[in-house]
Every structure is written in C-alpha cells, then in structure tokens.
Structure 1
Amino acid sequence: MIGFSFYLQDPSASERIEEAGKLGVKRAFTSLHIPEEQGDLAAVAAGLLEKAAEAGIQVFADISANTHARFGLSTVKGLNGLGVSGLRLDDGFSPGETAALSEEFSIAINASILFEDELLQLLELGVKPQSMIAWHNYYPRRETGLDEEFFSQQNKLFSRYGIRSAAFVPGRGEKRGPLYEGLPTLEKHRSTNPLHAAAELKELGADFIFIGDPDWGGGLLEDLILYEQDTLRIPVHSSREFDGCYKVRPDLSRDVIRLMDTRSNDPVPPQAATLRRRGAVTVDNDRYGRYKGEMQIVKNDLPTDERVNVIGMIDEKDLPLLSFIRPGTNVLLTNKNERLGDGEI
C-alpha cells in the first residue's frame, strides 16, 4: 500500500493532503516531535488532521514521550481526539506502555532498531501482530541510510510473526530541509528514481511504501499508485506517440520484454537498422512476416536487425525498472516531455 508524508510547517501540506485524497491514497505519515518546529502546533496539527480525515486518510504520527504535553494534552491517548489513528513510537516508551497504547491505536514499531527479544516481549504483553506495523526509519543525513541486507533480514524477522513492514522512498520534488538530501530508508536509494526504489523495497519485503519528502513531485504518487496495481509507467524518448498500456507475455524472454497484442496487419515499413541497446523500444517491421507489429523492450544489448525498427529509447535512469517487469505486468509507455525530431530515437 502506498502512502505519503506531510509536516506541520510545510505551507503546502493542506493542498498535498487534498490532492492525495483525490488520488485515492489512504495512509499518511507525519511527525509530531520535531524540535525545530515552533508556533501553535496543536492548531496546525488539528487542521491538517481534520483535512486528512475529510479525505479518508489514516494518519500515523511519529511521537516521543512528551509529545502530548507539547499539544496541551494530559495523556498520549488524547492524540486520538486530534485524529491520529496510528502511533510510531520513538524513544521513551516502555513495552508495557506500548502494549497499553495498542488498545487505542495501531502501533508502528521501529523496525530499524527493534529486534526479536523486544518483539517477543511485546507479543507476550498481548500486543497483537495485526495491530502492529514494523516501520523503518528514514535517514536525512547522507551515508546513514540502511544496508540492503540488514533491511531484508529485519523484514523477514517481522514477517515470521505475521507483522507487515513499511519503509520510505525520497520524493522527486524539492527535498525536505534542513539537509535537503532526501528521506530514504536505504542509502542506495538516496539518488535513485523513487519508483525504482519502491519496487526494490517491495522485493525486499516491504508491504507499505511511503514517500518521505513532502514534495513528491514529477507524478511520483501517481506512478506508485499504478505500480500498486501492477502497472509500471515508463517514459520513452521517441518521435512516435505512445498512448497505450501493454501487458507483458507470460513466457518471459531472456533478451527482450515482449508486449502482447501488438502485432498488426497494417504495413510497418522497414527503417534504417540500428543497434538495439538496453532500453530500446522496438517494433518488428514487414520483413518479419507474421511477427509484424510486435513491440518489444530490449533488456540486453542486441545487434542490428533489418527486420526490427528501433522506435524509442528509455532514459538511462529508468533502466533499472526493467528488472522489475514480470510476466503479466502492465507497462504504460508514455512520451517524455521533450519530443525528438523525425529520424531521431
């Protein structure tokens, strides 16, 4: 499931919540214990949480042991009245307090620093696995994001106990301050296409993917929603208009991704043959007989073939997406903003 993040001092938070709600997003993350945030936090939080409730969005809030006092509340449970439905507990909460809060809230345990002994203690205290999410941190400081193998091992631990896991990818838009380095869970994703990062997190066992930065930008939220529906949107540099969603054949080939129902009886004149580099989008021309019109995406560099026209090229930064295309995946090919001239690919 896909989610996003909003923050109390982001002037665009209300608009982002409204937009996410219109797109059908049902979960959001926010932090209620950021030391540098000042002002009437309770009023701002109440307004944003009300906005989220109107949009049908469940909000998980990152809190510390003294967060409720900063909001003028006598107990943590008072956050429920503000519209918080899930708590991501930072330092300062004992296992017993966590168990008690799990009766009122969904609980996001810190998947990056909680290990099996502590987990067993929570379960023995009566915290139900279905009421927990093992939620990994995001890491604003460069070089401090999680190791891939550690992340995978932690997810396997929680999965053994029937607990789902969550993690963050950075946004495509402006990164969140004060460091502006992005908010990924894995360090390798700091400068990666966030859609690729999300696909990799899912492969590594994450059940929920949240955008850490408040400005998702560049159609990222829409791309993640499509991915949740087993559709990958891939922009293509081409002089040809792409406007279709294509299903990948069930028999996955070694060198190319074959797109179903693309063969045609219409003429496909041969073009000057060019190298088929990884990421090339091709169509079989008249010389290929009954294969005429079949579209493919090249996975491994291939030689020229006079029977195959190269009609487009995927950006190098998007090439890792090809590794996550499976039999039956839907591939939505769209044109890049910049169009290429006649004869260019």
Structure 2
Amino acid sequence: MSCLGISIYPEHSTPEKDKEYISLAAKYGFSRIFTCLLSVTKPAAEIKAEFKDVIEHANRLGFEVIVDVAPRVFKDLGITYDDLSFFSEIGAAGIRLDEGFNGSVEAMMTFNPAGLLIEVNASNPGMYLNNIFSYEPDKSKLIACHNFYPQKYSGLGFDLFYKCSKNLKDLGMRVAAFVSSQTEGTYGPWPVNEGLCTLEMHRELPIDAQARHLFATGVVDDVIIANAYASEEEMAALAKVQPAKLTFGIELEITDLSDVEQEILYDFNHFVRGDLSDYMARSTMPRVIYKEASIPARNTRDLHRGDIIMVNEDYGQYKGEVHIVLQDMPNDGRKNVIGHIPIYEHVLLDYVTPWKKFSFMK
C-alpha cells in the first residue's frame, strides 16, 4: 500500500514547529517521516532527548519514522551494528543506511531484537542489494529509499532511477523516493538547498506533478517531501493523488464548459479502452450515459499530442467520448478540444495503457 511522507530536521528547527508540521501532515493522511542524523553534531544524550520528544509525538499520530544514518554516525554516537537500541529508545521504526556496509552487516541488522526496519539506499545501480540478499536477510524488515539531491543538476536521470527501482521491486522490496516542495524558505539537512528531489527532471515542477509521475512508474510505493516545511496547499494537493490512477492536469481551452461537459470531464470514472489506438486513448462509456445530452461543436482545431477532446454531437453515436491524443492528427470538426495536458506532464502519456484508469484535476 502506497503512502505519503514528510521530512523533519530537528537541528534546524524547534520541537514545537516540528510537532505542528507533523500534526498538519497527519490531517492530510501522511504516515511516514524521514529524519536525518548525518548533519547532527550534538552529544548523544542531547540528540536522544530531542529526537525522542518529537518522534513520540509522531508515533502517537500513527507515523512511521525512519532515521538516516551512516557508518560515521555509528562511530560518533558509540553505536554498534549488533546493538541498535539507541534508535528503538528514541521511538524510530527503522534506520536508513545512507552508506552501505559489506552486505553481511545489513543482513544481520534485519534480525535486530527491536524489529527495526533496515532501509537501504535505493540510488545504487550495482550489485549491492544482491549482495545483501546473498546473506539471507529477514526480507520483511528490509526496505529501500532513494537519495535526494540538494545541488541543482545532480539528481538522478530517469533511466538510472528506473533501473535501480525496478531491481528493488523485482526483489520484492518496498521503495520510496523524494519530491521537493516549491515553498519559499524550505530547507534540508545541509546549507545547500536548490530543491530536494530524487529525479532531476522534477526539480522545478509542482509537487503533485512530481508525485503523480513517481506513482505512475509503478516502481515507487512511498513518496516523501524532502524539504521542510511544505505548505498546507502542497499537502492537500498530494493528498488528492491516487497512486493507482493516472491523473492529469488540464489547461482549458474551453473555459465555459456546460454542466454536462464538466460532469463528463471531471466526475466520470474514465478508463482506457482495451483496444488502445496509437493515436488516442478513448474513454467510451460516457457516450452511453450521456447519449441524450447536448454537446455542440466548438474549438475543433487540429489535434496534437496531449490534447483532451470530447466528441461532439456531429459524430452520431460516439458523442460524449473523451480522448487523450497520443499523436498529431487532423480534426474534421467532430471533436471538441477541451484543453491540453501541460507540457511538463507529457511524460505521463508514456503510462497510458489498455484498461488504465485516469482522471483530470480541476
């Protein structure tokens, strides 16, 4: 089951602000928290007290909290690989290993007495995961999460991201990735903050478009906002995303849609016909439900990839169908161009497949 998450960085904030943010996220159904010890330099006792206070608040609201660590953190805090009690004592559900060990260590960690989840770095194209699996870990305690990249142009390219994620999914693992809030003044664990995302192509996009793309790939289970604090508007937008459904933004060209046209466009449960054409994805059931409705011809320009059209009444029994245009083609006047999908969302067209459910955002 997919879920949404946020990130908190207690060393850069206050417990009061973090708790308020966590409570807001709970309001919108978020259930994961990423937090980081890599940039924390305080003594172990002080770290434990601060993190425990905030994590206890999160746990009361049903969050799963994963703490990012690396070998250096173990050394600095006097933690050994066979005694992870520090993390269970602060209330964490698991630890994320930003840097790997030798495979055997990770596998043994999955048998920790507290039952902590061991999250490995998903942004790793080598044989690292296969090595861990060769040491017979407890697979039920092993999950994966990608990196985020504060430096502009340093994020993952899509092909590498997909290769890494697909390998993890093929191993039966739960995979998380990060999206970036576009709210001014957000921050991460480090001074450099030019957006915090996993995929470089997402860095400047609206946060819900980032999430819709990650879910559409089919290789990401959980989406986490990397920077703090995202706005309530962004949380609300993410909360509306349905991971199993393709959801498109639409830039309207017909702004005075009739009530019937709005019902068909926004409220109908659209799905792509199984006999998918190279030229368009058809939602054909509206023609049955709205066969008596009036849909006069208007805005019948030629059609381009990403256009959203509604068949008008000049097309007889096909009136009311909704099409997503996949290839340019002429329009003989029987198809109304309702609007078009924003260019930055055209990547979602790659996931239009037979029987796929889809909808449009108002």
TM-score, length basis structure 2:
0.76
Counterpart for residue 247 of structure 1: 270
Q: CA deviation at 1:40?
A: 5.8
1:87 aligns with 2:102: no
- SS of 2:282's equivalent? strand
What's 1:183 paired with? 196
Partner of residue 24, structure 1: 29
In structure 1, C-alpha distance between the alignment counterparts of 2:247 and 2:239, rounded to whole Å = 8
Cα RMSD (Å) of the superposition?
A: 3.5
The residue aligned with 2:242 is 227
User: Relative to structure 1, is the Cα distance of residues 322 and 72 closer, same or farther in structure 2, using a 3 angstrom cutoff?
Assistant: same
State the one-letter code of the partner of 2:123.
Answer: S
Give the aligned length: 334
Amino acid corresponding to residue 21 of structure 1 in structure 2: A
Q: Deviations over 1:272-303 (max 9, x none)?
A: 53233333332222211111222223233332
* 1:78 aligned residue (71, 86, 90): 86
Cα drift, residue 36 of structure 1? 7.5
Map of 2:142 onto structure 1 = 132
- Between the aligned residues of both structures, percent identity stands at 26
Measured after TM superposition, the shift of residue 83 of structure 1 is 1.5
Q: Does residue 298 in structure 1 map to residue 325 in structure 2?
A: yes
Residues 14 and 329 (structure 1), Cα distance of their counterparts in 2 relative to 1, 3 Å cut: farther
Deviations 1:228-250 (A, max 9, x none): 24251524423325641431233
Alpha-carbon deviation of 1:99? 4.3
Q: Which amino acid aligns with 2:88?
A: N
> Distance in 2 between the 1:281 and 1:113 partners?
38
Please report how far the alpha carbon of residue 106 of structure 1 lies from its aligned counterpart in structure 2 after TM superposition: 0.6
Gaps of 5+ in 1: 336-345
Offset of 1:140 from its aligned partner?
Answer: 0.8
Q: Matched residues in 1 for 2:246 and 2:358: separation?
A: 6
Name 1:340's counterpart in structure 2.
Answer: none
Secondary structure (helix, strand or coil) at the match of 2:241 reads helix
Query: Does 1:212 find its partner at 2:212?
Result: no
SS at match of 2:33: strand
Q: Match for 1:163: what amino acid?
A: M
Stretches of structure 2 lacking an aligned partner (at least 5 in a row): none
- Counterparts in 2 of 1:138 and 1:309: CA distance versus 1, 3 Å: same
Paired with 2:167 and 2:322, the residues of 1 have a C-alpha distance of: 42
1:84 offset after TM fit, Å? 0.2
1:156-171 equivalences under 5 Å are 156-171=166-181
- Once the two structures are TM-superposed, the CA of residue 195 in structure 1 deviates from its matched residue by 4.4
- The superposition leaves residues 105-161 of structure 1 with CA deviations (integer Å, 9 ceiling, x where unpaired) of 110112334842x54554455422221113221111122222333333333444454
* Residue number in structure 2 paired with 1:112: 123
2:156 pairs with one of 146, 155, 161: 146
Q: Is 1:259 the equivalent of 2:259?
A: no
Superposition deviation, residue 172 in structure 1:
3.9
Q: Select between 72-81 and 291-300 the one with higher mean Cα deviation.
A: 72-81
Deviation, structure 1 residue 60 = 0.9
Q: CA deviation at 1:184?
A: 1.7
Report the alpha carbon displacement of residue 21 of structure 1 after superposing the two structures with TM.
Answer: 2.2
After TM superposition, the structure 1 = structure 2 runs for residues 15-54 of structure 1, keeping only pairs within 5 Å, are 15-35=20-40, 41-54=47-60
More moved, 72-81 vs 168-177: 72-81
* TM-score, length-scaled by structure 1: 0.80
CA contact (8 A) 1:273 1:306 kept: yes
